[in-house]
Chains A and B, each alone.
Chain A
Amino acid sequence: MSEQEKKEDVRIGIFVCHCGSNIGGLIDCKALAEYAKTLPNVAHAEDNLFTCSETGLASIKKAVEEHDLNRVVVASCTPRTHEPLFRECISEVGLNRYLFNFVNIRDQCTWVHMKYPKEAYEKAKDLIRMGAYRAVILEPLDTIIVNVNPGALVIGGGVAGMHAALNLSRQGFKTYLIEKEDKLGGRLNSLYKLFPHDIDASEFVENIKNNVQNAQNLEVYTSSKLKNIKGFIGNYEVEVEQDGKKINLSVGAIIVAVGASLLKPNNLFGYDGKNRITQHELEPKIKNNEINANNIVMIQCVGSRNDERQYCSSVCCMTALKNALIIKEKKSDINITILFRDLYTPGIDYEEYYKKARKKGVLFIRYGLDKEPTVEGNQIKVYNEYIGEEIIIPYDLLVLSTPLIANDDNKELAQILKVPLEVNNFFLEAHVKLRPNDFATDGIYIGGSAKWPVDITESITQGYAAASRASTILSHETIEIEGATAYLPEWNKNLCKGCEVCINICPYNAIKKNEEDEIEIIEALCKGCGVCGAACTKKAIIIKHFTNEQILAEIYAFGGK
């Protein structure tokens, strides 16, 4: 039995954070700290305006030293964003990082009980007491150190994927780029010119493809699909299928850059693929000088920004402007009308581009979602809210701007990689704001339109960004991973009856049977989610850092008062 379990040796420090007014604005943090002092084994308690600030961290360290603390409890926001910081902090003053307990009194207390300050205060007291009782029996744990394979897999050979792969290979990492089509380039292959500089798409894409072909450390597999994946951060075993044959690759990190697809506007605005076409179908016509219309009407947000598909696809306005401008440049007396809802041209170049389209005489008419244009024969009727009446526009070519949508096979890929999708089936990043190119799963990264519709410039940015994130792993020979894992201790092995429930239930494939037919947990793969421990009928599996005793201590602390 470790020493820490003897209560007389346990000295807990409790830090109650105001989180500005997020917590302090609703409940009395000073009083909470005073309350904390009355709890058993608590040697010190204080409140801070922001415990996570450098000042707050300094006061934790100071208190650990002054009061000889060996457990630290912070009652504040959420472990999701702040646990690593506090763990790091106490380890800097010599405490094992797992002797820290996080009590969530913001997300799970003041935020959800905003309208009940009194009750929230009482709940915060309960939560702190529970946290303190659990802290008493926390145990020090070691982190797990694993080797890193300095290779990367990039899935998707479009503009984002190619840039990610190029960057990683130039950084010196062995990089594999797989593309499901028979050639690299993605949607760039089907475009004519690229906004906002009207650069020739084929020239641009050929140039990148050349760079990819000539790059050292970079292997390309076209007509290839990811079939299976095993392993964990730093050590992935990847199975790729190319033309029916299997290829096995070993990499340390994976980048998802599979791009997006275009919506086919079947049943929308009389789409017929002839004189009612999509922007995408318009491009080759412009390229081959096949436009023989005098009145062109473009409709924006076809199939997007509605109840079915709420989002703005963000590239269609610029695409329409580009195609309108190119047509106008070729033949200035063609009348082009763009029916839009909100013109999306943020930033410097795009707004300038919009203005250029106006300068060239493109006509813009706004419509509302509740009053969509209607196509009647060779004319379009649209309610013009600016003058409050319906307007008739004759047309001989109707062009529909349809949004980028998630690829059909995103679900399949997400399952293989065990990463989440959002409601529109785009991939879901770890944090919309601050981790835009990470997945919650370490070692797998995301860039480009696979995550959300973006234009080429931003695809490139994100390709590089994902490469950067991958490089933060690949640059190390070894990395530390979470020590709070599931664990089958020697002394519990006799309890295990080999029922394999844990193997079947583990979402990370972290449990298997070894040659002796015994359950073995691969700690590096385990995320400590706890389902195996909960499912184990014989209670053989222990979840480190969330042992039954620790959880029961919390429960008793709550009910036992």
Chain B
Amino acid sequence: MEEASKRALVIGGGIAGIQASLDLADMGIHVDLIEKKPCIGGKMAQLDKTFPTNDCSICILAPKLSECYRNLNITLYSYSEVQKVEGIVGNFSVEILKHARYVKEDLCINCGLCVEKCPMRVEDEFDRQLRKRRAIYMYYLQGVPAIMTIDKKNCLWFTKEACRICEKNCEKEAIDFNQKDELIKINNIGSIIVATGYNLIEDIDNDILKNYGYQKYRNVVTALEFERMLSASGPQEGHIKRISDGEEPKKIAYLQCIGSRTDRGAKYCSSICCMYTTKEAMIAHEHDNELESYIFYIDMRAGGKGFQSFLRRGEAEYDIKYIKSKIAEISIDKNESPIIVYEDLDTSEIKKLKVDIVVLATCIIPPEGIVKLAEVIGFELDDYNFIKTPPFSPVKTSRDGIFTCGCVHEPMDIPRSVAEGSSAAARAAEIIRGG
């Protein structure tokens, strides 16, 4: 048998993919890390804090992002997608489509002058549409690589052949409107790790959120939106405000299992919501220690390390009220304050609760593009389109030499994603080292 080559390919630059890449690189194995978005970091970069330690998410993530960028054993392909995979375990070759940023990566120093001058205002994806960005933009403040990207769909030059103001203002002459998408071929890949993360149910068209007035009532937001609202670098710069009137909330209700554990959406449990909801309530409480929090749940699922104590702390120190009740629907009053009707199980009474903001813990769903990727690489998906893994081979896919980690195969929290990242790295290393 031909000697296995010393390269690994990791698809997806979220925390799972990052951990897999760093472990492999630290083993001396060269890693090609592919990220679809302009910057690596994934969902973790969008979070404000992380449970159960309430560490600042980007603060603990940033060193890892930098490490990925600096490590000589990692070649980072951001804004890129895998197009084709050929070969067999131990020797794959892969074609990558690197999208044109229209910014020369080696010249851009992320000074921000172009952003300042760009006249276009576009919904910001990273901030979950809660803020506008420009047509030339950094994907997020702490993003890696720290390079601007021109969003072709919204750039005046590409849509109307006008403007080019960014070009005129760039002192480094880094803007290049003639840049083309690039096809890159990588050979000698021993093993591939798929870590393309997840989407949320609000990302796709659906009826489930309708009953909760999502996108109809401005003070009904999803958990990830709320996470951005909490974040210091988010659209509200760390001050929680109602979207309808900018008032600071005094009562917030968190609704669990939105679109999960139901025959009317996803049957599975989204795994992380019980915990992050408590975390969000704690952080919100830290913003305002008179704030009241209500968490409506079916089963509190807190099996991880320190999770139960975390819930106890939430109750005792942060005034969180846990109410076992799933909410049927939401209405609003004249001030656009959401009104929740629920049954108080202790008394069997049906109660009305008016709050200032409702936060929906929406269900994790498989990532966009997974069906195509499954075809390209040739692994099987389960009934929901998560990657299928055989019993007791948690990071293995149906195809030899292809591994997976993180939420792309099942909803999971960050520690498990990290462990799986390492785990996938170990399996890939076995193959690359001919074991």
Contact = CB atoms under 8 A, between A and B. Distances in A.
**A joins B in a complex:** yes
Contacts of B302: 312, 342
Contacts of B28: 475-476
Assign chain B's interface to a size class: 35 or more
28 contacts: A20-B232, A49-B233, A50-B142, A52-B66, A55-B110, A58-B146, A88-B70, A92-B70, A114-B286, A167-B426, A170-B435, A172-B433, A310-B308, A312-B307, A342-B299, A342-B301, A346-B271, A347-B411, A348-B268, A348-B410, A386-B345, A426-B305, A433-B415, A434-B64, A436-B418, A457-B394, A461-B394, A461-B423
Nearest to B110: A55
Contacts of A1: none
A199 interface: yes
B86 interface: no
A210 to B, nearest CB: 15
B146 A55 contact: yes
Contacts of A461: 394-395, 416, 419-420, 423
B62 A52 contact: yes
B418 to A, nearest CB: 5
B50 interface: yes
Contacts of B267: 351-352, 355
Contacts of A433: 50, 53, 55, 60, 414-415, 418
Nearest to B266: A348
A236 interface: no
Interface residues of A, number: 81
A433 B60 CA distance: 9
B69 interface: yes
Interface string B31-67: 0000000000000000000101101101111111111
Given A451-B305, A468-B423, 19 more contacts: A20-B238, A50-B62, A53-B141, A57-B66, A170-B433, A170-B435, A310-B312, A346-B269, A348-B382, A422-B305, A431-B60, A433-B418, A434-B19, A462-B419, A462-B423, A465-B423, A468-B429, A472-B26, A475-B27
A351 to B, nearest CB: 4
Interface stretch (B196-204, B218-226, B330-338, B384-392): B384-392
A81 B412 CA distance: 24
Given A25-B238, A436-B415, A460-B392, A19 B59 contact: yes
B205 interface: no
A407 B162 CA distance: 71
A81 B55 CA distance: 11
A465 B424 CA distance: 8
Nearest to A386: B345
A305 interface: yes
A453 B307 CA distance: 12
Contacts of A58: 109-110, 146
A114 to B, nearest CB: 8
Q: Which 8 A-B pairs have the closest CB atoms?
A: A20-B232, A170-B435, A21-B232, A314-B303, A465-B422, A472-B26, A468-B426, A464-B423
A50 B141 contact: yes
A456 interface: yes
Given A25-B238, A351-B261, A432 B306 contact: yes
A53 B146 CA distance: 8
A77 interface: yes
Contacts of B109: 58
B394 A460 contact: yes
A92 B70 CA distance: 10
